[in-house]
Amino acid sequence: KKVLEVENLVFNYPDGTNALDGLSLSIEKGKKIAILGANGAGKSTLFLHLNGILKPKQGNIKFRGKKISYKKKELQNLRKNIGIVFQDPDMQLFSSSVFQEISFGPLNLGLSEIQTRERVDEAMQIMEITDIKDKPTHLLSYGQKKRISIADILAMKPELIIFDEPTVWLDPKHSKEILGFINQINKKGTTVILSTHDVDLAYQWADYIYIFSDGKIIGEGSSEKIFRDN
């Protein structure tokens, strides 16, 4: 079953940069997808389309088989269901305490305080940050902030989570830890997309890989297929 389909997406920035040049992909429910590509390949530009921050110049995006219309209500639904964990947690965290930070999303969705508390507790438990729930986020370590930024998204209970270069800059121990959390999230049924320029990571981790270059897909397939062919 398809969660997300991108068909022939074209996008140019105002300065003329052709960031996406007829890009198509299709994401199946429950899978672990890696998007492999060098800096400038178009990964972030694609992600900004997937939560409706950017609108395609040409092409379509379908969520659960339905074309996105960019009406306000539909955009809200899209942002609830497609969560993005950004590379730099400081771009995502802005509340005073960890608990408040993770509460922001569910409260914003209109959930009650009780429902919100349940969601926040669950997300903190999964990310193993319950012990720091009352700490101010700005005083925490990078590793802790990274976990909070993931808990933030988990509390929205999205169907699909995109991790934008989740292991970049991390030492092997912390990379492994973050990948462990991502796998755990996937096992509970959430579809996960991870972008990376680490070929070994994509090969070892993903069910299916897309290789991006210059705003296009230049290769795709199961890990075995990709590395047999390239």
Considering the rule CB under 6 A, would residue 151 count as an interface residue with ligand ADP?
A: no
Considering the rule CB under 6 A, would residue 43 count as an interface residue with ligand ADP?
A: yes
Nearer to ligand ADP, 35 or 153 (CB): 35
Stretch in the footprint of ligand ADP (CB under 6 A) among 58-66, 78-86, 152-160, 170-178: 170-178
Nearer to ligand ADP, 74 or 177 (CB): 177
Least distance to ligand ADP, CB of residue 67, Å: 23
Q: Judged by CB under 6 A, which of 3, 6, 19, 50 binds ligand ADP?
A: 19
Instruction: Please report the sign of the dihedral spanned by the C-alpha atoms of residue 169, residue 172, residue 173, residue 179.
Output: positive
Considering the rule CB under 6 A, would residue 44 count as an interface residue with ligand ADP?
A: yes
Q: Judged by CB under 6 A, which of 39, 71, 73, 188 binds ligand ADP?
A: 39
Least distance to ligand ADP, CB of residue 98, Å: 13
User: For the chain, how many residues are written?
Assistant: 230
Contact map string, positions 127 to 146, toward ligand ADP, x by CB under 6 A: --------------xxxx--
Question: By the criterion CB under 6 A, which residues form the site for ligand ADP?
Answer: 13, 15, 17, 19, 37, 39-45, 141-144, 169-171, 174
